[in-house]
Structure 1
Amino acid sequence: MQGVFTGFATISVVIAVGMLLAHLRILDLSAQLVLSRLAFFVASPALMVITLSRADVHQVLSANLLASVAGVVVAAGVYVVLARLVWRRALGDTTIGALSAAYVNAGNLGIPVASYVLGSAAFVAPTLLLQLLVLQPLALGFLDADARDGRARWWQLLSRPVKNPLTVGSLLGVVLALTHWTLPTFVAAPLALLGDLAVPCMLVAYGVALRLGPGLGRAGSVAELATTSLLKLVAQPLVAWFVASVLLGVHGHALLAIVVTSALPTAQNIFVHATRYDRATVLARDTILITTIGAVPVIVLVAALLG
């Protein structure tokens, strides 16, 4: 359990630093925007190249992936139906809301949790690759289309994601992993250094937004926020457990890994995307905050029941 608390404590401290810097007026909302753009266009793509080049992509074809896909589809699908039929959200806002309800923090939190709680970071690789190569490019395609004219055309969904820096970085990392080709030091070292900026930039920017932006639940629908949070913390891990245990017959440590991974909170980079496209930023920010706090007892409970 120490790994769970260590991972969450690390994230909380860096977010608190961002809040403190904003409180002291060292950073303002314009600085938050700069940090978010730096993470989106430079640091995160570099991090994806380095991280995925070292991943075992063959783990994508596993029960872990199937159960993770089921959890994502149900959580995101329920939100999309409610957003379009009940809250009448536009395409971009719906996309960010769906990501908030289903896109787990598989990188900067999932990796340490998998390492310390599950025994190996490899357990989070299927979810990481699923999100980076399928869910994120698809979502960014919708966001790009919405930013242009509010309509998602099929050729935009096919062409625009591969022009996105995060997607390009992810694809390069997968190619390197599949070919077992190692980047020369003069390329890998700068990429690794730039990649190290990604998580701190995201978390500091998030802290600034928490301090200077609207208070929790003061902008947007409280019911919508409750929905995204419950879908992420309750529905997604429950669906993953059901598919893995009941339908696929997974048991023991492998089942624990699947459910813990699905119970991870919403990723901070969803707030970066929301800021980049100016869509549902408050919903993304508040869902990240609630799920990051709520994931601690949820993961502890999962570990106690299945560990």
Structure 2
Amino acid sequence: MALEKLVPVLLAFAGGVLLARRKSVPAEASKAFSDYAFLFAVPCYLFGNIYASDLALLFDWRALGGYAAAAALAVTVVVLAAVAHGVREPRAVALRVMAGVQVNTAYFAVPVFITVFGTAAPIFPVLLFQVCVLSLVIISLMELGRPGSEADGPGRRLSRAVGASLATPLVLACNAAIVLNLLSVHVPAVVLDAAAFVGDSASPVALFALGLHLGGLGLDLRGTTREEWALIGFKCLAFPLLTWFVCGVLLGVGGQWLAYLVLIAAMPTPQNLFVFAQRYDVGVDLSASLVIKSSLAALVLLPLWLHVVAA
């Protein structure tokens, strides 16, 4: 059943691959589709869904604090490993952090959770954490590494990077939705309907862009590098195990919340990795490969993790 829910994901991706292979749509057009998803469609999707959620019912602070602690440890491990292997450029480090720690929520976790638990509501607090904290850190590093930023001093570069990350449509949409939700500000139905209309295109457009890029690039599983294997293994095996240890063993989180958090951590690298890579012109081929290969690995490991959380 979980795999059946992923058929739309495969269709959107395969459509991009096919059209690129047949040269009906140039692979270079994937950049325009990615920008549309990153700058417009995904913010609309997040704004409408977060605003309409009951935030009070979605937050178990001990569970979410445990997940945040596990994510912080995971970020530290990825950064240290990247630097130890000679990766020093801020954008490249940020890309690897996103690949190893952030999870695919909208395209992968939602259908799995609906199938297994009957609801996708537990995903939204983690989604908020990803967008408002992890993405903020990653976008700041990306902005710091932009060509030409070396002309300014470190303080000015950092303040400009943080300001730029806070001003991105992705972060602005989430923060606006949270504030309006908490203040019970009425947003006209026509605005929410319009946001939902545009937001519904985020997933297929981002997947189509990824398919276009890989259709032009090609994908060779036998050519997977050691770094790719390491990042995929960390994302699909080490991170969920770390989440189980921190949340379940150290903090005593149990029951459904422990199952939710471990399964969320086991989700693959998000398609947004590819969107960020194209947006900031860093590691585009690496990101496209990691998104697809981690998704394949997660599909194979999904029965194992479902058995673990059921136990």
Match of 2:64 in 1: 65
2:198 is equivalent to residue 189 of structure 1: no
Give, in whole Å, the separation in 1 of the partners of 2:146 and 2:271: 21
- Of stretches 139-148 and 153-162 in structure 1, the one that deviates more from structure 2 is 153-162
Q: Tell me: CA distance 1:282–1:64, structure 2 relative to 1, closer, same or farther (3 Å).
A: farther
Structure 1: where are the runs of 5+ without partners? none
Contact kept? 2:144, 2:158, Cα under 8 Å:
no
- Of stretches 135-144 and 147-156 in structure 1, the one that deviates more from structure 2 is 147-156
Contact kept? 2:263, 2:309, Cα under 8 Å:
no
Q: Report matched runs for 1:89-108 at 5 Å.
A: 89-108=88-107
CA deviation profile, 1:262-289 (whole Å, cap 9, x unmatched)? 1011110111010111111122111111
Which of residues 23, 27, 31 is equivalent to 2:21? Answer: 23
* Deviation for aligned residue 1:200: 0.9
Q: Percent identity?
A: 27
Give, in whole Å, the separation in 1 of the partners of 2:149 and 2:233: 28
Give, in whole Å, the separation in 1 of the partners of 2:234 and 2:54: 29
Give, in whole Å, the separation in 2 of the partners of 1:56 and 1:146: 38
Count of paired positions: 304
Q: Report matched runs for 1:289-304 at 5 Å.
A: 289-304=292-307
Match of 1:283 in 2: 286
Give, in whole Å, the separation in 2 of the partners of 1:113 and 1:180: 31
Residue identity matched to 1:101:
G
Q: Tell me: CA distance 1:222–1:140, structure 2 relative to 1, closer, same or farther (3 Å).
A: same
Match of 2:124 in 1: 125
Give, in whole Å, the separation in 1 of the partners of 2:301 and 2:37: 29
Give, in whole Å, the separation in 2 of the partners of 1:57 and 1:149: 41
Give, in whole Å, the separation in 2 of the partners of 1:7 and 1:65: 27
Which of residues 45, 49, 52 is equivalent to 1:54? Answer: 52
Match of 1:32 in 2: 30
Residue identity matched to 1:15:
F
Q: Tell me: CA distance 1:88–1:306, structure 2 relative to 1, closer, same or farther (3 Å).
A: closer
Give, in whole Å, the separation in 2 of the partners of 1:212 and 1:105: 23
Moved over 4 A (4+): none
* Deviation for aligned residue 1:49: 0.7
Give, in whole Å, the separation in 1 of the partners of 2:247 and 2:77: 20
Give, in whole Å, the separation in 2 of the partners of 1:301 and 1:87: 34
* Deviation for aligned residue 1:30: 2.5
Match of 1:77 in 2: 76
Match of 1:109 in 2: 108
* Deviation for aligned residue 1:252: 3.1
Give, in whole Å, the separation in 2 of the partners of 1:264 and 1:193: 26
Q: Tell me: CA distance 1:112–1:64, structure 2 relative to 1, closer, same or farther (3 Å).
A: farther
* Deviation for aligned residue 1:64: 3.0
Residue identity matched to 2:98:
L
Match of 1:256 in 2: 259
CA deviation profile, 1:224-278 (whole Å, cap 9, x unmatched)? 1111111100111001111121112223332211111110111101110101111
Which of residues 167, 175, 179 is equivalent to 2:183? Answer: 179
Contact kept? 2:28, 2:213, Cα under 8 Å:
no
CA deviation profile, 1:20-73 (whole Å, cap 9, x unmatched)? 111221211222111011111111111111121123434345233123223322
- Of stretches 134-143 and 295-304 in structure 1, the one that deviates more from structure 2 is 295-304
Match of 2:40 in 1: 42
1:133 match: secondary structure? helix
2:173 is equivalent to residue 169 of structure 1: yes
